[in-house]
Amino acid sequence: MKNITQSLIKELEKYENKKLCGLQIKAKYYDNIKFPSSEVQLLGQWFEYKATGQKDRYGNIPEPPLLKSGKYPKKFYDILEHIDPFKKILKENNFEIIETGKRIIHRGLQGDIDLVLKDKKNDKIVFGDIKTTGLLNDKWNEFGWDEDSLQFKHNLMIQAIHYKLLGILEYEYEPDFYFFLFSNKNTIERKIYKIVLNDNRLEEHLSHLEKIFAIKKNAETNGFKAYPNSNDCLKCPIKEKCTEFTDVPVITDIYY
């Protein structure tokens, strides 16, 4: 049985709303087909590897693209300017890295924790997640990290809730959870968010997980449905073999 990760939750939500093709989910999560990382994702993986030694989700060392000159694009050097400040952040907060990329599995739920840290102030385990972003102060983009907008961004916050739940199952207390955010647009902007959950947030997540389990079970039993869409199909890593591929946009009704 496929464990439920925070990324699978998000993809099954999109699938349920017909915003993501089910054949892509099947290929990625069930057939273990590698979906290539975008350059922005690769930049984040590269930074994480250089800062903590953590490899990518397939266990590979991230390799930046090479220019004709034999060098990496400038942003792959610039991002490394955040490494010393990151180390300083850990030191000043009395955090010690215990483990990177720790996989926790309980009751069909899974999380791959970027940073398992010891908070030396109280000897408790805390979780950290490293993000590089060009949207550090963006309020309106769904992936923007403006602090006042985060309460409305389920898509970003679900990771913290899911990992805290796994932390409770693993350690029998709720670990603190921190996002360590680094700008990929400049070398000076960084933020740290400690995610504090409302009283009923974990219960809400548990009932949401029941719905996700049902969507997953239905798809596993009856097959994942294709939702072809020319924009997605043309970029799809499995388009060569897919019988549902289309390069013709579907007509969308707009009510006015």
Binding site for ligand SF4 (CB under 6 A): 21, 23-24, 226, 228, 232-233, 236, 238-239, 242, 244-245
Closer residue to ligand SF4, CB minimum distance, 166 or 233: 233
Smallest gap from residue 65 Cβ to ligand SF4 (A): 24
CB of 241 to ligand SF4, least distance (A): 8
Nearer of residues 175 and 228 to ligand SF4, judged by Cβ: 228
List all residues 6 or more positions away from 176 whose beta carbon is below 8 Å from its beta carbon.
119, 124, 126, 127, 194
For 176, the enclosing helix (H) or strand (E) is strand 176-183
* 60 vs 230, beta carbon nearer ligand SF4: 230
Question: Considering the complex, what minimum distance in angstroms separates the CB of residue 199 from ligand SF4?
Answer: 40
Q: How far is the CB of 27 from ligand SF4 (least distance, A)?
A: 7
Shortest Cβ 184–ligand SF4 spacing (Å): 28
> Least distance in Å: CB of 236 to ligand SF4?
3
User: Which tokens is 111 given?
Assistant: 């999380």
Q: Which is nearer to ligand SF4, 73 or 223 (CB)?
A: 223
Q: Among residues 29 and 86, whose Cβ is nearest to ligand SF4?
A: 29
In angstroms and rounded to an integer, the radius of gyration of the C-alpha atoms of the chain is 20
Q: Which of 185/239 has CB closer to ligand SF4?
A: 239
User: Residues 186-193: contacts with CB within 8 Å, 24+ apart?
Assistant: 186/78, 187/78, 187/79, 187/81, 187/82, 189/136, 189/137, 190/82, 190/85, 190/86, 190/89, 191/136, 191/145, 191/147, 192/89, 192/93, 193/145, 193/147, 193/150
Nearest to 45 by CA among 79, 71, 73: 79
